[in-house]
Amino acid sequence: MNSDFTLAIHSLTFLALQPDRMSTSDAISESAGVHPVRIRKVLSLLKKHGFIKSKEGTGGGFLFALDLNDINLWDIYKITSEGALQPKCPESNAKCIVGANMQNVLCSIFWGAEVHLGEYLKDYTIKEIVDLINKEK
């Protein structure tokens, strides 16, 4: 899993908590504690997949495009991190039974882990993340 996943969740939650006004990438980056360019990259990805919309120019920024219940963490994972759990195996000795088969075996196991992760992440929507944040206040 990479930081784009957590930054996407952070960005969407930030936008969800301010539904009646545009939020800038600078404001979101300040909240997340990262450079605005990193947030803009994530926001671009979220916009491309229809999760948010934007308006350029003075008074512009970003807004949620969907209902908070329509986006779950698996949706976000798929666009930011899918395949991230796959093992990175070095070139192995193809003449060795272990070396010749390790990547295929591990990929199968980790693919299964990602399927299970997906089933778990589907249970959490941005609405639930917002509710958990509000509970912490």
DSSP 113-131: HHHHHHHHHTT-BHHHHHH
Look at residue 91 in the predicted model and tell me its pLDDT. 80
Distance CA 63, CA 119 (A): 28
pLDDT in tens, the chain (137 residues): 679 999 999 999 999 998 888 999 999 999 999 999 999 999 999 999 999 999 887 778 999 889 999 999 999 999 998 777 777 777 888 888 888 888 888 888 888 888 999 999 999 999 999 999 988 86
Distance CA 24, CA 21 (A): 10
Helix (H/G/I), strand (E/B), else coil: 54:
strand
The alpha carbon dihedral of 48, 50, 51, 57 has a sign of positive
- What is the pTM for the complete model shown? 0.85
Amino acid at site 67 = D
Distance CA 59, CA 82 (A): 34
Look at residue 39 in the predicted model and tell me its pLDDT. 96
Look at residue 1 in the predicted model and tell me its pLDDT. 61
Look at residue 11 in the predicted model and tell me its pLDDT. 97
Pairing mode, if any, of strands 61-64 and 52-55?
A: antiparallel
Distance CA 16, CA 5 (A): 16
